[in-house]
Amino acid sequence: MDIETKKWEVLCSQEQIQERLKELGAQISKDYEGKKLMVISLLKGSFIFCADLVRHITIPVKIGFMTTSSYGHGESSTGQVNMVADISDDIEGYDVLVVDDITDTALTMNFVMGHLKTKNPASIKCCVLLDKPSRRKVELVPNYCGFEIEDKFVVGYGLNYGDYYRNVPYVFNVTNEDR
């Protein structure tokens, strides 16, 4: 599919995303007050969401990164989660919040949370920009969620198509209609 020739349907506008980030940041700040918070961003997809989110968290926060992969260069997950780069920080005793761009099958988040639990954090929760519960393959409900969406292929605000379009400041779906 050549998305440049198709119409784009905006699902989450830049304004809606920024407003929701403020709400999530306030809730996370309240929930983790007095705790040792470490936010772990799952790269590459969550880096924009995570950077904007942590600016709205008003308590001290340590930030770490991991890279996993379950997508090739296409539109659908391979179903196999691979660890590309593990967290380099010691998370023992920290209250960990894993941040990702989207949870659909929940295979990636389930894999990451299971892996991180072996490192003895005080607690572990997850925060996602987008949740697609209709695509679940494992039972997992994000602790913090920006938006629940239908089963559509989404791009923008960190989500890519063929490694492009992450920089688009809103989330969109590519329709089958020509421009």
Measured CA distances, 124 to 28, 33, 44, 96, 115 (Å): 13, 15, 20, 5, 11
Among 104, 131, 163, 178, which one carries the catalytic annotation? 104
Closest CA to 147 of 49, 5, 44, 61: 49
Closest CA to 58 of 104, 12, 27: 27
Tokens of 144: 């913090």
Residue 100 a catalytic site member? no
**SS3 track for 43-94:** ECCCHHHHHHHHCCCCCCEEEEEEEEEEECCCCCEEEEEEEEECCCCCCCCC
| Rounded distance between C-alpha atoms, residue 48 and residue 66, angstroms | 14
- Report, as residue numbers or ranges, the catalytic residues: 104
